[in-house]
Amino acid sequence: MIGALVCALYGMKQMYIGLDHVEKAWLETAADTHILFGKIRYFSFCSDAGQFGAFMSFSCLVAIILSLKSNSNFKSAFYFIVGILCFWGMAISGTRGAMFVFVGGLFYLLLTRNFRVFTLGFIAMAAVFCFLRFTFIGQSNYQIQRMRSAVNPKSDPSFKVRLENQRKLKAYLASRPIGGGIGTIGYWGNRFSPGTFLAETPPDSHYVRIWAETGVVGLTIHILTLLFILARGFYLIYNLRSPFLKQKMMALYAGVFGILVASYGNQVLGQFPTVVFWSISIGVIFLAPSLDTDETSETSKLIKS
């Protein structure tokens, strides 16, 4: 949480105080993606605004869930403040796909095993969606405009371009079941195999990149691996007995699932710093049963025996 807080604060420093000369020089090389309609997409000290937004939404979701149940009021207040600051960090990044990280909150609601909490949470998420999808309230605010366009993809020109690129890739990969090879698409493709079809086709999505590089075979293995991680993680968390440990694991699980959803629209997974926190979260979730110290825990009894 400390790292997320520092990242969010530095992004706000860029917005309210200004960029340093190095950041300005970098921004000139990335103006086509980071200056839209005269507005800067802030990036903090991440590789780009997309990573900043994804990391902020991941941290926001985890922090807000942790604030709901903690062993001290100070920790709850700290997590809540971090969550709010990270949400604003996500907003100023202008990264629309990062919003879909919050879909992971649905799995937190499921893991609570409380129908009332699940219902209220689902209604709240639906209300936010309807606010963005069917109203124009706050449309004069640039951050709200960007978030609103995320739930209106059909009216977004960039979304149509992505679909067209995927249609081209589908035709190209039809005769290549194991893809074009690692590092052949996007940035790495331009660096190592410039001038090729894959190098000149932006993947946009993490899953599209895996598909292009390893074909349908590699993509299938990749998705099955992710599904195993999600299923096993859900099972382990569901059977935890310690309420505080379970709350922490549910928060991490929600963030892990949310990043997988957001990776459809951007290359979130596999890039720093999101991939580091995502990978550590999975490791901690899988170790959770050995950390379950509740006296009623079957795992605890097994360890004692």
- Tell me if residue 42 falls in helix, strand or coil: coil
Q: How far apart are CA 279 and CA 207, in angstroms?
A: 17
Q: How far apart are CA 74 and CA 207, in angstroms?
A: 40
pLDDT at 79: 92
Q: What is the mean pLDDT of residues 191-213?
A: 87
pLDDT at 114: 77
Contact assessment for residue 154 and residue 161, using Cβ atoms and an 8 Å cutoff: no
Q: What is the mean pLDDT of residues 87-105?
A: 84
Instruction: Give the largest Cα separation in the chain, rounded.
Output: 65
Evaluated on CA atoms 151, 153, 85, 276, the torsion sign reads positive
Q: Give residue-wise pLDDT tens across range 218-277.
A: 999 999 999 999 999 999 999 998 888 999 999 999 999 989 988 887 788 877 888 888
Q: How far apart are CA 190 and CA 249, in angstroms?
A: 40
Per-residue b/e over 129-151, b at no fewer than 16 CB within 10 Å? Answer: eeebeeeeeeeeebebbbbbbbb
Contact assessment for residue 294 and residue 239, using Cβ atoms and an 8 Å cutoff: no
Contact assessment for residue 44 and residue 21, using Cβ atoms and an 8 Å cutoff: no
Q: How far apart are CA 85 and CA 273, in angstroms?
A: 18
**Residue 12 or residue 149, greater confidence:** 12
Task: Please give the full DSSP string across 71-101, using - where no structure is assigned.
Answer: SSHHHHHHHHHHHHHHHHHHHHHT-SGGGGG
DSSP 154: G
pLDDT at 305: 38
Reported confidence tier of residue 299, pLDDT bands at 50, 70, 90? very low
pLDDT at 303: 37
